[in-house]
Amino acid sequence: MESEAEAASSSKQMECRNLAPRSAHRKEAKYIVPALKLPLHLPANPFRSKHPIVGLDLGAFRWRLLWLSETGELHRRWLPAPPPNTSVQSDALRRLLQEEKPPARRAVASLGGERLSLARLDVPGRVGGRDLRAALRFQLAQHFPLAATDAVWDHLPLPAPPGGQSPTTPLLVAVAPKAAALALADLCRAAGTRLLALDADPFAFQRGLAHLGLPTAGLWGLLDLGERGSRLVLYDDELPLLHRNLSFAGNQIRRIMMETFSLDETAADDRLLQGGVAVTRLLATLVEGLGAECEETINFYLAGQRGRTLGVLHLAGGGANLPGLASRLAEELQGTLDYRLDPGFTVSPVFSGQADALIGPEWLLALGLGLRTA
pLDDT digits (tens, 9 = 90+) for 225-249: 988 889 999 999 888 988 899 988 8
pLDDT at residue number 154: 81
pLDDT at residue number 55: 92
Q: What is the pLDDT of residues 123-147, one digit of tens each?
A: 776 666 677 777 777 777 777 777 7
Regarding whether 109 and 19 lie in a shared domain, the answer is: yes
Q: Please list the helix, strand and coil fractions of the chain in percent, rounded to the nearest 5, in that order.
A: 45, 25, 30
Regarding whether 221 and 286 lie in a shared domain, the answer is: yes
pLDDT at residue number 373: 63
pLDDT at residue number 365: 93
Regarding whether 128 and 50 lie in a shared domain, the answer is: yes
Q: Could you tell me the residue range of the domain that residue 264 belongs to?
A: 215-349
Regarding whether 86 and 43 lie in a shared domain, the answer is: yes
Regarding whether 331 and 257 lie in a shared domain, the answer is: yes
Q: What is the pLDDT of residues 176-206, one digit of tens each?
A: 888 888 888 889 999 998 888 888 899 899 9
pLDDT at residue number 15: 31
Regarding whether 370 and 327 lie in a shared domain, the answer is: no
Regarding whether 291 and 356 lie in a shared domain, the answer is: no
Regarding whether 310 and 185 lie in a shared domain, the answer is: no
pLDDT at 49 over 60: no
135 to each of 121, 123, 131, 139, 169, how far by Cα in Å?
A: 11, 7, 6, 6, 11
Regarding whether 198 and 208 lie in a shared domain, the answer is: yes
pLDDT at residue number 173: 84
The CATH number of residue 290's host domain is 3.30.420.40
Average confidence (pLDDT) over 283-291: 83
Regarding whether 367 and 317 lie in a shared domain, the answer is: no
Q: Which helix (H) or strand (E) holds 116?
A: none
The CATH number of residue 87's host domain is 3.30.420.380
Regarding whether 155 and 18 lie in a shared domain, the answer is: yes
pTM of the model: 0.81
% pLDDT > 70, the chain: 81
248 to each of 225, 226, 277, how far by Cα in Å?
A: 7, 8, 21
- Is residue 222 within 8 A of residue 191, CB to CB? The reply is no
d(CA 19, CA 129): 15
Q: How many structural domains compose the chain?
A: 2
Q: What is the pLDDT of residues 65-119, one digit of tens each?
A: 998 877 778 888 999 999 988 899 999 999 998 888 887 788 889 888 888 888 8
Regarding whether 152 and 235 lie in a shared domain, the answer is: no
**How many other C-beta atoms can be found within 10 angstroms of the C-beta atom of residue 90?**
19
